[in-house]
Amino acid sequence: MAKASITFEDINVTVTAPAGTRLIEISEKVGSGITYGCREGDCGTCITKVTEGWNNLTEPSVLEDKILRENMAGKHNRLACQAQVLSGVIKVKPV
Amino acid sequence: MSHLPVISLNTIPQAVALSERVHWVGALDPNLRNFDIILKTANGTSYNAYVVRGSEGVAVIDTVKENFAGDFFTRLEAVARYDEIKVIVLNHLEPDHTGALPELMRRAPQARVYISQKAQSMLKALLKQDHFEFTPVITGDTVSLGDRTLQFLHTPYLHWPDTQCTYLEEEAILFSGDVFGCHFCDSRLFNDVVGDFRFSFEYYYAHIMRPFKEFVNRALTLIEPLTLNTILPAHGPLLRDQPQRYVQRYKELSRSALQSEINEGEKTLLIFYISSYGNTRRMAEAIYEGAMSVDNVRVSLYDLEGSEIAPFVDLIEGADGLIFGTPTINGDAVKPVWDLLSSLAVINLKAKLGGVFGSYGWTGEGVKMVEDRLRGLKLRVPIPGIRIKLIPTEEETQLCREFGHELALDLMGLRQAKVIDIADLV
């Protein structure tokens, strides 16, 4: 299975994880500063900046896009509870 | 200048001329004692709104809180007709400045609203509609009123994402929104004739602007080069006498006090602890020792029992790294730690280094809880906290030294990046 390498820049930790893993599953285990609220893509608490490898994450759904817009998220922001890793190098940090 | 009009609170609201073309049309709220839950005010506040008349139209700059809309409209009608209003500028969309906006837009439907880029979605939410005429503006954009020109300054986060200032070039007047404002209600209006508002000015800065010092400094780079005859804020006295003094004061207040004591290349790490039986204190001392072994880290150790909270908040604001030690009592971190951690909303903590430790008797949840709080405050917590059951052994004390050493290395950017497989994570 394809693996991705995700770096949490705030704590300088890189994790390799299989395709399909959500960022939330990894970030909570390593203790990155990304914080969570509802964990189901509704509240916008876990908005995260993707600094590298945007295309190595699944595309945001229409619903995720809506929540990002409502929360005035900047460019290259994702919800960590929704985004799943695909492959290659991904770098993220809390906004 | 004390012969200038004083507004009586008991008669029909009068507009006040600030120049031939500029009028104050705001409202006084002398009875307010508590603003937005977080601010006290001993003598109320004012909601300042202004009218600027040009040869080709009138601009209204900001409005007032909704229940003071009557005073605002009475004053506005004394100096302008609604059909003359060409421009409505909102420097900030908080309800105390936009309460009368929907009604103003209804009475002057031809007027175009000028707001910052960030204000757009907030304005739609405020008006509960999508279809109205507005122009988002940034620094350098202008709108002409014929022989008067309004120029916009993008000054975000003072104190909302949407905030901006507006400069009337021909008269060198800055409509500054909440910047340079304060909650101080005095019907004499002008800073050279009102009562002593110095405390209110500083108090307002400390609670409203202080968390955004970085943005205050950025805004000052736009404001300082301007010629300033008068600063007209959205709350409190109108600063016509020596307005530059207030700009200067903001500059002083936005400097970090501790910064000047630190040598080039050094970083500061503060360790706060509280201990009931001396075990968390022993851990703190070992962490202190470990952190001291890294060059260029200036480490300080504080017992939370030994001080009020306010001085610690000042220290934390200027520090690069923070480590908290708490015992766990009844399944929670202890109150003095929470008291400090709930007092940090007035400062910017983003991306500071955080770490937590503590001794415990039975369950030891306190450390994890404080770690979560630090993440919520936007600190980065790169190393999992350490918890030690009761009295630390020599081995455990050594762990504490290593914890301090590693955190200090991380602070200096010297810690090795970690690579792990998700399967190895528990």
B379 chain-A contacts, CB cut-off 8 A: 33
Question: How far apart are the C-alpha atoms of B422 and A17, rounded to whole Å?
Answer: 5
Question: How far apart are the C-alpha atoms of B390 and B277, rounded to whole Å?
Answer: 9
Q: Name the residue in chain B with its Cα closest to that of A26.
A: B422
CB distance A41 to A82 below 8 Å: yes
Question: How far apart are the C-alpha atoms of B98 and B173, rounded to whole Å?
Answer: 21
Radius of gyration of chain A (CA): 12
Fold of the CATH domain B259-411: Rossmann fold (3.40.50)
A13 chain-B contacts, CB cut-off 8 A: 382, 417-420
Q: Is B419 on the interface with A (CB under 8 A)?
A: yes
The minimal CB distance from B422 to the residues A10, A12, A26 is found for: A26
- Domains of chain A, with CATH numbers? 3-94 (3.10.20.30)
Residues of chain B with CATH 3.40.50.360: 259-411
A14 chain-B contacts, CB cut-off 8 A: 417-420
ipTM: 0.81
Model confidence over B155-196: pLDDT tens digits? 999 999 999 999 999 999 999 999 999 999 999 999 999 999
Per-residue tokens: B273: 């602890």
Share of chain B above pLDDT 90, in %: 85
Model confidence over B24-68: pLDDT tens digits? 999 999 999 998 888 899 999 999 999 999 999 999 999 999 999
Question: How far apart are the C-alpha atoms of B156 and B215, rounded to whole Å?
Answer: 7
- Helices B213-223/B243-253 angle, 10° precision: 150
Residue B240 CA, chain-centre distance (Å), reads 24
- Asked if B161 and A12 come within 8 Å (Cβ–Cβ), the reply is no
Residues of chain B with CATH 3.60.15.10: 16-253
Question: How far apart are the C-alpha atoms of B216 and B230, rounded to whole Å?
Answer: 19
- Asked if B425 and A21 come within 8 Å (Cβ–Cβ), the reply is no
Q: Is B188 exposed, middle or buried (0-12, 13-18, 19+ CB in 10 A)?
A: middle
Select from B350, B380, B410 the residue whose CB has the most chain A CBs within 10 Å, as the one to mutate to test that interface: B380
Q: Name the residue in chain B with its Cα closest to that of A16.
A: B421
Amino acid at B219: A
Fold of the CATH domain B16-253: Metallo-beta-lactamase; Chain A (3.60.15)
Nearest to B115 by CA among B101, B135, B86, B132: B135
CB atoms within 10 A of CB A49: 17
What's the confidence (pLDDT) of residue B257?
Answer: 64
Model confidence over B124-162: pLDDT tens digits? 888 887 777 799 999 999 999 999 999 999 999 999 999
Question: How far apart are the C-alpha atoms of B18 and B2, rounded to whole Å?
Answer: 13
β-sheet bridge partners, residue B166: B152, B175
